Amino acid sequence: METLVIGIGGNAISRPYSEWVLSRGAGMERVAMGIAEASKGRRLIVTHGNGPQVGEELERNERASSQIPELPLYQLNAETQAVIGTLLEKWLLKGLERLRINKGACTMLTHVAVSGNDSGFSHPTKPIGPFMSAKELAAERKFGKFNYIHNKRGYRKVVASPRPVSILEYREIFELSKHNIVIACGGGGIPVIRDGRSYRGADAVIDKDRTTSLLAGQVGAKRMVLLTDTDYVYMDYESKTNALRSVRTRKLKRILSRFEDGSIRPKLEACIDFIENGGREAYIGNIFHLKDILAGRSGTKIMG
C-alpha cells in the first residue's frame, strides 16, 4: 500500500484557522474532503505549518506577561500542534464519514530532534507571526525580544530554525497510519535537543517543509505533496507567470537561487532532499486542488 505524505502550509491555513476558532471552517472543510478522498487505498500522513499561528500565540504571551508567566517557544509549538490538529481532525472525520471511508483520524504530538550546535540558533531566519507596519513594530518592540526582517509587506519577527535531525515518534506515526489519517509534525514538530539519555525543549520553530521531507523519508513514502496558496511554482511569483509544471532536481538546483528565500525556496529544497533520499516524486500546488495534483493536472511536479 502506498504511503503518501501531505504538508499543508501555515500561511495557506491562516485564514481558515481564524474561521475554525469561530466554528465556521468552510475553507478547511473543503481541504479535509480532498485529503479524505486521497486516503482511499493509501496510508496517508498530514503535516502542517504554524508560522502565523505560533507568532500570534507568542504575541499573546508577551502582552499578558505582566499577569501570567510566559511559556517558552517550544511549548507554544506544542499548543498550536494541538489546536490546529484537533480542528483539522474534526473536519477529516466528517469527510471520511461523508465519503463512507472506513478510517479514523488522529493527531500525534510530535517531537523533532535538532542539534544544539546548529547555526540556526545563532542566525535566526524563520519568520513567524503577522506582518507589521512601522508603527506596529514600535509597539511590538516594547514586548518583543526578537530579531525582525523587513520586506514590502512589512516587518515580521524571526526566530531560530535549526534543521531537523530525526523524528522521535515516526514509528508510531507509521503504525497509526494503517487505519487512520495521521496528523503529525505540526509546525515542523516540537524542537528538542538530546540531553544525556533524555531530551530538553529548544526555543525554535523548525521549518515544516524540511520536517515533512524528513518524515516522508523515515516512513518510506515515495510521493510527497506540499500544499500552499498558489497553483504552481512560478519563476515570476508577482505576476504569476512562467509556471514550472514539471522539473528535475538537477535543473532545479541550478535555478534555486532565483527563488525568494523564506517563501517558496524552502519547499523546493525540501522536495530536492526528498527525491535525493529515495523519494520518487514531489509536488507543490494549491491547497484546494489535491485531487488534480495527484492526477497530474495541476501543481509543479519534481522528479529525480
Block residue for cell numbers 531537523: 164
Grid coordinates of 209: 517543509
Pairwise CA distance, residues 241 & 276, whole Å: 28
**For 146, how many CA atoms within 13 A lie in the half-sphere containing its CB?**
26
Grid coordinates of 263: 517563501
Pairwise CA distance, residues 73 & 135, whole Å: 25
| Distance set, CA 171 to CA 22, 152, 219 (Å) | 35, 43, 8
Name the catalytic one among 27, 61, 120, 208: 208
Helix, strand or coil for residue 156?
A: strand
208 catalytic? Reply is yes
Residue 156: alpha-carbon gap to chain centroid:
18
Name the catalytic one among 103, 157, 267, 301: 267
Name the catalytic one among 10, 49, 51, 189: 10
Sequence-distant (6+) residues with CB within 8 A of 162 are: 114, 115, 118, 120, 121, 191, 202, 204, 206
135 catalytic? Reply is no
Read off φ and ψ for residue 301, nearest 5 degrees.
-100, 130
Nearest to 183 by CA among 71, 93, 58: 93
Nearest to 136 by CA among 69, 65, 59: 59
Name the catalytic one among 11, 90, 144, 154: 11
Strand partners, 226: 7, 284
Pairwise CA distance, residues 45 & 283, whole Å: 15
253 catalytic? Reply is no
Radius of gyration of the chain (CA): 19
251 catalytic? Reply is no
Sequence-distant (6+) residues with CB within 8 A of 17 are: 52, 53, 84, 87
Which sequence positions are flagged as catalytic? Answer: 10-11, 126, 208, 267
